[in-house]
Amino acid sequence: MIDIEYLRNNPELYIRACTLKRIKLDIPALLEVDAAYRSAKTSVEMRRSESNAFNKQLPNFKGAERDAKLLEMKSFSSITKELEAQLSKIELERNVLLLRVPGIPLNKVPDGASDADNQEVSRVGDIPHFSFKVKSHAELGVDLDIIDTERAVKLAGSRAYFLKGDGARLQHALMNFAIDFVAKKKYVLMDPPHIVRREVMEGTGYFPGGEDQAYRLDERDTDFYLIGTAEVPVAAYHSGETLAAANLPLRYCGYSPCYRREAGTYGKDTAGLYRVHQFYKIEQVIICKNDAEESARLHSELLANSELLLQALGLPYRVVNNCTGDMGQGQIFKNDIETWMPSRNAFGETHSCSTFHDFQARRLNLKYRDADGKTQFCHTLNNTLAASPRLLIPLLEVHQQSDGRVMIPQALRPYMGGQEFIG
């Protein structure tokens, strides 16, 4: 949960955060529920205290007086149980509302309604100009017999795909290169669970609100969901723990298949590999001290890692500052990296770098003990390192040749047995 005391003292900051992030949540109404909860809790605690005092005094009563006192306490206990039931109901309502409270964007986050309002920070690499008619990755996939969506859709419905031959090998080469790349930077590689409990989705901020994007297991296992990113299990890895400050920051790298419903995107990006239900992703996750400057430094580190990887692949890209309307509930600062995709004649998002401060840590009860022995909530950050097949789009399209072949970037050739071209 967020810091409720801070919310009580600074409601205007959260009202503004809801407005900026386009989140519909009535903060004054939440505070009314919170006040009702505190009042009900006080009443219940007072009655419990009276009940405990009576139980200590009971041996002092005898005969008819004892019977009368027991009858009195029976009625007293009955009312207490009713009040406890009311408290539980109010607490549940309060917790549901608290889970929807957003993180407060940093002052440097630009205001805006959607990704159209994101602000470009930098561009790296030259946009390619071709002397021949450019093919999309989907066309290249058919011509080179490395992508088959037609048969995949027959088997698995829309947004499904097969990678074949050198297409599958290219994906494995990309992922293996990314794993080796981040291992040299001392990130601990993790192969996490792909199925998690609801509380893990809530702890990382994907629920409530993101249920329509997640795949829930069947009715016998309603508490379990397929992950949409390795961020979820990796960020929750130390949930409920108090870490040693000397061990921070912790740098992890989760590699997993990911599953997303893509709800609300009907008719959008249905062709090709841009928006699919199943994909692979390598996600960087950092857990650090509760320090804004350290978080900022580590955010830059995560961003730089992904930029260096794209540079090694010879792919032009740009970095944008995401606006308030293009941020998740818990993110307080976010950069997207968008890589050039010739078939779209535009940059397409391939990476998202997010700072949360203590938003996730509070929900996950993730703490550390500082030098003074005081427990603090950690800060968390994450960034994509490589996601496939999304990243295969620029790899195939940017490196296509006039003869129909695709050049394999130098960095990936050792992972493909020295092969220089596909086709």
Indicate if the pLDDT at residue 222 is higher than 80. no
Question: What local confidence, expressed as pLDDT, does residue 228 receive?
Answer: 97
pLDDT at residue 105 greater than cutoff 90: yes
Residue 81 lies in a domain: yes
pLDDT of residue 221: 64
**Is 141 in the same domain as 232?**
yes
Shared domain for 119 and 86, answered yes or no, is no
Of 98, 129, 150, the one marking the end of a domain is: 98
Instruction: Please give the average per-residue pLDDT across 220-236, as a whole number.
Output: 92
Residue 88 has pLDDT above 90, yes or no: yes
Give the percent of the chain with pLDDT over 90.
Answer: 87
- Minimum mean pLDDT among 35-49, 166-180, 330-344: which range? 35-49
Banded model confidence at residue 182, pLDDT cuts 50, 70, 90: very high
Q: Which residues are catalytic?
A: 260, 275, 349, 352, 390
In a domain, 105, yes or no: no
187 with 301, same domain: the answer is: yes
Claim to verify: residue 383 and residue 274 sit in the same structural domain: yes
The per-residue pLDDT for 359 is 98
Query: What is the mean predicted confidence (pLDDT) over 35-54?
Result: 90
- Total domains in the chain come to 2
Q: Is residue 165 part of a domain?
A: yes
Task: State the residue range of the domain holding 181.
Answer: 115-422
Has residue 51 got a pLDDT over 90? no
Of 98, 125, 145, which residue is a domain's last?
Answer: 98
Give the per-residue pLDDT at 74: 76
Q: Are residues 156 and 88 in the same domain?
A: no
Q: What is the mean pLDDT of residues 264-276?
A: 82
What confidence score (pLDDT) does residue 41 get?
95
Does residue 220 surpass a pLDDT of 80?
A: no
385 part of a folded domain: yes
Residue 65 has pLDDT above 90, yes or no: no
pLDDT averaged over every residue in the chain: 95
For residue 28, give the CATH number of its domain. 1.10.287.40
For the ranges 54-58, 125-129, 210-214, 402-406, the lowest mean pLDDT is seen at 54-58
- By CB atoms closer than 10 A (0-12, 13-18, 19+), residue 15 is middle
Shared-domain flag, residues 161 and 271:
yes
> What CATH number did the domain enclosing 185 receive?
3.30.930.10
Residue 103, in any domain of the structure: no
Residue 349 pLDDT > 80 = yes
Is the domain of 90 the same as that of 125? no
Residues 36 and 138 in one domain: no
The mean pLDDT value for 375-393 works out to 98
Residue 29 CA to residue 33 CA, distance in Å, equals: 6
Residue 337 domain flag: yes
Give a yes or no: residue 106 inside a domain. Answer: no
Same domain, 93 and 146: no
Q: What pLDDT is stored for residue 59 in this prediction?
A: 74
**78 plus 44 within the same structural domain:** yes
Does residue 192 fall inside a structural domain?
Answer: yes
Among 98, 123, 142, the domain boundary falls at 98
Residue type, 62: K
As to burial, measured by CB atoms within 10 angstroms (0-12 exposed, 13-18 middle, 19+ buried), residue 307 is middle
Are both 183 and 36 inside the same structural domain?
no
Mean pLDDT of 136-148: 98
Same domain, 93 and 122: no
**pLDDT tens, 190-199?**
999 999 999 9
